[in-house]
Structure 1
């Protein structure tokens, strides 16, 4: 990258980009500048051939992202609030959700409000044993605005999602695991190493097939009537790729594929 990020630590190592929100004095809270910078980072990483996956986390052990910076939108009009929601969803949350490379959220502490929405936009979530998650927006007289009302029900079901949203209360990591909000719960020390091991498994598979799988799964969730057709098309298209030829050859020759 040409310029060092202001609100993030960014490191690329062993095909993985480590994006760390770096606002410890604000518990890594989101504001428009933080979201803008994250959008710029994602745009660059999408076309970086040295990057095959992303681990997104927050600096320190207190918070992944403890929410939005409330002071910033305290005096927003409804029009300004809608633009905030629109830009945050389209430029960051939807970008993460549809990112063609695997994105893992390493939830190392509080993931509240916009922070939980950020984690839910990632493909896979792993949490430390100390992590706490919630959508407390109704306590401020508002509702989640970065896709939380849509993505939480997909992960935990309508009833539990409404319970979390309407009470605004936090749940711990084990409850999040039980309800399907996170994929794994590990110790703080093992959080990043576990993410790395998971990505290493993914890197052994076809990068093109993984990108197609992400796209097709998302299509089925967002537009169910198109999901099966999208799958058939992507399945057929895969037969024309070099990855398919290599994968089949490796299988028949009883060796590991070289994707």
Structure 2
């Protein structure tokens, strides 16, 4: 490990394992799965490092938006590293799957800060399950998407089946889930699986542009909107609207809400502080 990496680790900017990097760039937290030689497949150590990175992102008051990506241009992530698994029924099998209990974004971790996915290459199995837990998704033209677990005799865990059927048209979700086949970026956009498709070399810059647009808004309002939309899906319309009223009442008491109104009256950009 180089001197810079060691320094970043000591400052808490770089994860303790190089299989996942967590870095901050102003108000943006960047999480990079860093196993390009394995198509960024996730073994148990990678899952633990991801858990650490998501927890750090969740609790860092200075970071307001996240970007998750995979190292290199060949893959966002090809999913779980099945070479680490052994035959079902053996003693070691449950130990591998216990990694799914980590604090992962796609396993129900409550992260109300917006998360943007920057996808190049393969986004398969657990990689696609992770994608389904993000809010805005930028795909390169060469990206390929698939829920390939069924080809291995298993199912997409960590919410893969449930998010797919909730987010995609029914027939699109069932095609992904039941065939395990790949679809290209254009078809993924047609299915609303990704937000936009751009040239491969522009994926990260476009993700950062989206982050900048979000950062121009009130951070407490952004988090409230994300939480309301996620929680409201499982509530009646009347209950969800009542929750919305409650959130709005609390937002109106914040300094950020007052700053937004004053900045508008003074024809200037607001200086939000998340308080």
TM-score after normalising by structure 2: 0.86
> What residue is the counterpart of 1:255 in the other structure?
268
For 1:51-89, what per-residue CA distance to the aligned partner results, in whole angstroms no more than 9, with x for missing partners? 222111111111100121112233244998778667526
1:42 aligned onto 2:54? yes
Which residue does the alignment assign to 1:230? 243
Alignment of 1:47-196 (within 5 A): 47-77=59-89, 88=100, 91-94=103-106, 98-196=110-208
CA distance in 1, matches of 2:166, 2:113: 21
Go from structure 1 to structure 2 and tell me whether the alpha carbon gap of 1:81 and 1:146 turns closer, same or farther (over 3 Å shift).
farther
Aligned positions, number: 259
Q: CA deviation at 1:231?
A: 1.4
CA distance 1:43–1:110, shift in 2 (3 Å): same
Q: Could you say what the CA RMSD is over the residues aligned between the two structures, in angstroms?
A: 2.3
Encode CA deviations 1:88-111: one digit per residue, 9 max, x unaligned: 266103467631222111111100
Task: Classify 1:124/1:98 alpha carbon distance in 2 versus 1 (closer, same or farther; 3 Å).
Answer: farther
Structure 1, unaligned runs of 5 or more: none
Q: Report the TM-score when normalising by structure 1.
A: 0.91
Which runs of 5 or more structure 2 residues have no equivalent in the other structure?
1-8
Query: Cα–Cα, structure 1 residues 255 and 79, in superposed 2: closer, same or farther, change >3 Å?
Result: farther
Larger displacement relative to structure 2 (97-106 or 137-146): 97-106
**Conserved 8 A contact 2:66-2:115:** yes
